[in-house]
Each structure stands twice: as structure tokens, then as C-alpha cells.
Amino acid sequence: MTRVRTGELVLRYVLLLAVLALTVGPFLWQLSTSLKGPTEDIYSSPPAFLPQHPTLHNYARVSETIPVWDYAFNSLKVATANVVTNCVGAALAGYALARLRYRGRRVATLAFVLAMLVPVEGIVIAQFTTMRELGLNNTLLGVVLPGCIGAMNVLLMRNAFLNLPYEIEEAAYVDGANVWQRFLRIAVPSVKGTLAVVAIFAFMGAWDDFLWPLIVLSDPSKFTLTIGLNYLHGTFANDERLVAAGTVIAVAPLIALFACLQRYFFRGVGEGAVKG
Amino acid sequence: MLMPSTGPRTRTVRVRRQLPTSPWLFAAPGLLVIGAFILYPFMSTLVNAFTDRRTLIPGEFVGLANFRELLHDDMFWTGLRNSALYVLGVVPALVILPLLLALLVQKNIPGITFFRSAFYTPVVASIVVVGLIWVWLLDERGLVNALLETIGVGRVGFLSDQWLLLMSAMAVTVWKGLGYYMIIYLAALANVPRELHEAAAVDGAGAVRRFFTVTVPAVRSTMALVGALSSVAAFKVFSEVYLMAGPSGGPAGEDTTLVILVQRTGTGLTGRVGYASAISVVVFVVTVALMLLVLRADRRSEV
């Protein structure tokens, strides 16, 4: 019995390590390429997995080639704005849909459900036309606006508020708390977890987005990191070390964020199953 | 039902003072944003599809002319074919592989949290990063070809052959999606009663048999959900192919997808907004049809 279980355990670890090599290996190869110096052969066969003389030279070069730190700052601005607007806007609208009684509430809920179902890829051209009409094409504000209060986040917040016991708010109501006090002091503090999920996905969504910034931004000085990387790849495609350094700069912050806050990344998708 | 005598009165006063304004004040920012930037562009896409609007020219109503043109546009058929192939190639892999992966990481053995997180890393990375990583890995002189050469297979033109390129892009989509759907399956598996497995094991069912008789029926609705989500996403593929095949979808555009076509046709100063909108309408229709198809297949299999 024990031998069978040991065997199974060994098999499990072998499989886990194989999948690990497949999922994380490509990132490590990119990191390794970015650390290889100009004299080192990056095309060798059999491949050299580790750089012989690790150097940060390529990171200095990438910032000489494209304004990579400006792009990173643009991405940070867009992502931060997206977090703030989504948290505030989705909490407010979610509360209105879940708790407040007024005529037209069902229509409002339906509007958010419909908006969630619209495939964004199909409306980017019309969104771009709208931005041009507003004079916001080729601005970072134009990058942020279409997703600044996601319908899905509103519905997530609505469900979180609906799951709160109503009695507490009723008690506060009787005690004379007005709607803003009930919202800020009782409801919002009780849904912090969902709010954190909204914040993280808003950050990740904005930092990683590609199609929309590609369409709305045309001036290379306003590029976000993803568009900048595409530009770098298009212009210096054969300089693999340079592109590798650029991708590492783009992905490192998110991997760090994920490492620190993973439970929120997994939250809502079966906590019991995910806890190790 | 006992209340302080002043309670009901203050209550009615407050209700009267607040209700007319504040609920809409709460919902207004959200409604404004989705109205202006999602629902309005959606409606105008539907309208523009029947006009010859261009980026700088408002255009006029042209009836079904755009759709008639689509029928004779080889590029459109190539895009439709590639997007459809993408669904056929990606969806079965994304329904089955993450389930197997979830079963692998489900049991709480030492270090399993690390593996679960590590498998999720590709989900966190931007599609641009992922695309560029794989462009380098699959390069003529990249790591995969170096390994293939070392073991004596010889080099493969993953990114130069039309079909290999499309399949490579599909593989990248699957690679990036694995961790995401794995988490969805983990949640579903946590709800499968352990007794079912134990009872089946007592009856002498092996691991494979238990997978098909216990696990699959228990997570069937999750499989349908994953199927719906991944097929809709696969049909709208843009970034993977754009990054690996280039902005025009391969040298002669033979790897173009519908969304690449929308982006290329509708943007720029001479962008044909009307025609791009007509292609978008096709994307809408197929997307909705795919969702209904998968969810209906699920309902039928449950009966």
C-alpha cells in the first residue's frame, strides 16, 4: 500500500515538474537571453541555458533605443487610473443595483448585463470614432475611458452587496444613518475582498491590454509598454537580446504583484480548493 | 416591531429627501461609461455596417452593399476560415488539458501551492510578452529548433509556414489559457463529493474509469462553460496571430483572422469604417451562435 502511494507521489512530482518546465521555462529562457552579453552566442545548438557572463547591458541599451521607462510610466498611469475608477464606479453602481429601490433599477441592471456580453473586439473601430469625436484619440485618457468602469466589475460588486445580510444596514437605517453613511461605513468595508479582486483585475487588464491602445495611440511618445514592445519588436526584430530585456521589464511588475497577492488572483474561484 | 416613537417619522422624512436623487447618483458614472463607450459604439457599429462611412467621411446609407462585397472578398473568407479553425483547434485542448491539470494539482501534497501559482504565471503576463517570448522560442534559430536539432529532428519553420504558424499561434493561446481554466476546474472539482470517488473505488473502478464515470459527469456543466468562454475568445483571436505573423497576418495575409481584418480595414486615415463594421457584425453573430451552441449541447447531454 505504501509503495503504491510512493509510486503515485513520484509520478505526480515528475508530471508537476514537467508542466513547470513548460509554463515557467519560457519566461526563464527570456530572462537568460536578456542577460547574455553581445559576444555570447545566443543561437548555439545545443542551447546554453545560462548566460556565461551575466550583464545588464541589454537593459541599458533598450532604454537608449526606445523610451522604455516613459512607456512603463504611461502604463502605470493608465493602470492606476483604471484601478481607481473601477473600484469607485463599480462599488457605487453595484450598491445602487443591489440595495437601493428606485424605478428603472431592472433596466439599469439589464444595461450592465448587455454591456458585459458585447464583444469588445467587434466595437473597437466605433470606440475609436467616438474618441475622435471627443478629441481624445492619441491620449492616455482615451486609453483609460472605455474600460474605466467595467460592466463585469459592477455586476461582481452587485453580487457581493447582495450577499451581505441586510439586517445590519437596516439597523443603521433605523439609527438614522443616511444612504452615504450606510454605503461607506457598513457596506463597503464588508466587501473589501471583492473590491481587491476588482482592483487587481483592473490593474492587470490595463497593464496587459494590447488591441485598444494599439488602435487609439498613434504618437510613439505616448505609447504604453505593450505597444512600445510591439514597436520595438517591429523595428529591431533581429535583436533578440534587446526584445528580451524589454519583455522582462514589462512582465516583472505583474509577476511581483501576483507573487504578493496571489490569494486575490484566485479568490472567488473556490477558495477551499486553492488553499494549499 | 417595537420602535422608538420618533422612528417612523424621521424615516419618512429621510426617505422623501433622499430617494429621488441618490440611487441614480450612485449608478450614473457606471451607466454613463458603459452607455458612451460600450452600448453606443455597439449600436453605431450595427448602423455603420450599412453605410460607406470612412474615418474622415461620414458616409451614406448603402443598404447591404458591404455584406454583398464581403461575399466576394477573398481576404474575408480567409479570415473567417482562420478564425473558425482557431476555435476548432483551441477549444478541445482548453476544455480537456486544464481539467487534467486541475486533477494533477488538486491533491494537497507538499509544495502544491507553489505549482498552482507557477502554472498560473502565463495568465498574468501580457499577451504581447507571451507572443514575443514564443516568437523567439520558435524562431528559425531559437530554443525549440536548437533542441530539435540536438535530438536529431532538424529545424522546423514554425513561423514561416502558413499552417505551422497558425498552429503555433493556437499552441500559444492554449499555453496562456491553461492556468486560467485550471483554476475554474479546481473550484468545480472541490464540489465533487469525495464519497462518489470512494464508492467507485470500492466497486473496483480504476483511475481512468473513475475519471469518465465520476469526474467528467460531475464537472460537465463547467466543461460547457469553459467551452463557451474559450470558443468565444478563440473566434475573436487577434494578438497572438498579429504578433507572430505580423500586422498583415503573414506575407500574403494568409494567416489573417477576422479581428485582424477589422483592425486593418477600419483604422488609419483612410479606414473603411463601414466595411470594418460589417465584418464586426459577422463577429457578433458567430460569437452569439457559438455561445448558444455550446450551452445547448450541455443542456442536451444532461437530459
Q: Would the CB atoms of A12 and B267 count as touching at under 8 Å?
A: no
From chain B, the residues in CB contact with A262 under 8 A are 117, 120
Q: Cα separations (Å) of B253 from A17, B242, B246, B250, B282?
A: 39, 11, 9, 5, 19
Label residue B301 by pLDDT band (50, 70, 90).
low
Dig out the grid coordinates for B234 from the structure.
478563440
Instruction: Determine whether domain A67-267 maps to CATH 1.10.3720.10.
Output: yes
User: In the predicted model, is pLDDT for residue B69 greater than 90?
Assistant: yes
The Cα–Cα gap between A54 and A34 comes to: 9
Q: Which of A32, A71, A123 to mutate to test the interface with B (most CBs of B within 10 A)?
A: A123
Choice between B2 and B199, residue whose per-residue pLDDT is larger: B199
ipTM for this prediction: 0.89
B22 at the A interface (CB within 8 A)? Answer: yes
Q: Which residues of B touch A8 (CB under 8 A)?
A: none
| B15 and chain A in contact, CB less than 8 A | no
Quote the cell numbers at residue A219.
Answer: 504618437
Residue B12 pLDDT exceeds 60: no
Contacting residues for A276 by C-beta, under 8 A, at least 6 apart: B108, B112, B113, B116
Say what the pLDDT of residue B230 is.
Answer: 93
The pLDDT assigned to A262 comes to: 83
pLDDT at B58 (0 to 100): 87
Taking phi first (over 0 means left), then psi (-120 to 50 degrees means alpha), and beta for anything else, what does residue A164 get?
Answer: beta
Contact status, residue B272 vs residue B49, Cβ threshold 8 Å? no
- What confidence tens digit (pLDDT) does each residue in B148-183 have? 988 888 889 999 889 999 999 999 999 999 999 999
Domains assigned to chain B: 65-302 (1.10.3720.10)
Say if residue B98 is preceded by a cis peptide, omega within 30 of 0: no
Average pLDDT over residues B51-70: 91
Contact residues, B window 161-190, toward A, CB-based 8 Å cutoff: 175, 178-179, 183-184, 186-190
> What is residue B117's predicted lDDT score, i.e. its pLDDT?
92
**Arithmetic mean of pLDDT over chain B:** 88
How far apart are the CA of A2 and the nearest CA of chain B, in angstroms? 15
Distance from CA of A241 to the nearest CA of B (A): 10
What percent of chain B clears pLDDT 70, i.e. is strictly above it? 92
Cell numbers for B75: 481576404
pLDDT given at position B137 = 94
- Nearest-angstrom CA–CA distance, B219 and B213: 11
Instruction: Select from B44, B121, B134 the Cβ nearest to the Cβ of A24.
Output: B121
Reading chain A (276 residues) residue by residue, the pLDDT tens digits are: 445 578 888 999 999 999 999 999 999 999 999 999 888 888 887 888 888 888 999 999 998 888 999 999 999 999 999 999 999 999 999 999 998 888 888 999 999 999 998 999 999 999 999 999 999 999 999 999 999 999 999 999 999 999 888 888 888 888 888 888 889 988 999 999 899 989 998 999 999 999 999 999 999 999 999 999 999 988 876 788 999 999 999 999 999 999 888 888 777 443 322 222
A 10 A CB-CB count for A37 gives 14
Task: Supply the pLDDT for residue A28.
Answer: 96
Using an 8 Å CB-CB cutoff, list chain A residues near B236. 119, 121-122
Does B261 contact A at CB distance below 8 Å? no
Q: Count other C-beta atoms under 10 Å from residue B262's C-beta.
A: 29
Instruction: Read off the C-alpha cell for B16.
Output: 422623501
Q: Mind listing the pLDDT tens digit for each residue in B16-39? A: 444 456 788 899 999 999 999 999
Return the residue in A86, A102, A121 with the most chain B beta carbons within 10 A, the one to mutate for interface testing.
Answer: A121
Q: Given this model, what pLDDT does residue A70 score? A: 94
Q: Considering CB atoms only, which of B26, B33, B41 is closest to A96? A: B26
User: Residue B112: is it exposed, middle or buried by C-beta count within 10 angstroms (0-12/13-18/19+)?
Assistant: middle
CB pairs under 8 A between A and B: 282
Which of B31, B136, B143 lies at the smallest CB-CB distance from A111?
B31
Mean pLDDT lowest among A265-274, B188-197, B236-245, B259-268: A265-274
> What is the reported pLDDT for A272?
28
Task: Give the model's confidence band at B195: pLDDT under 50 very low, under 70 low, under 90 confident, else very high.
Answer: confident
Rounded-to-integer distance, Cα B154 and Cα B71, Å: 42
B174-183 pLDDT per residue, tens: 999 999 999 9
pLDDT at position B279 is 96
Q: Provide the pLDDT for residue A4.
A: 57
As a whole number of angstroms, the distance between CA A59 and CA A196 comes to: 33
Determine whether the interchain pair B124/A149 forms a contact, defined as Cβ–Cβ distance below 8 Å. no
Contacts with A, B 229-258, CB within 8 Å: 232, 236, 238-239, 243, 247
Distant-in-sequence contacts of A185-193, Cβ < 8 A, 24+ apart: A187/A95, A187/A99, A187/A161, A188/A91, A190/A164, A191/A91, A191/A157, A191/A160, A191/A161, A191/A164, A193/A160, A193/A264, A193/A267
Type of residue found at A232: L
Are A269 and B183 an interchain contact pair (Cβ–Cβ within 8 Å)? Answer: yes
Sign of CA dihedral B250, B252, B257, B263: positive
Integer angstrom CA distances of residue B189 from B11, B107, B186, B203, B214? 48, 11, 5, 21, 11
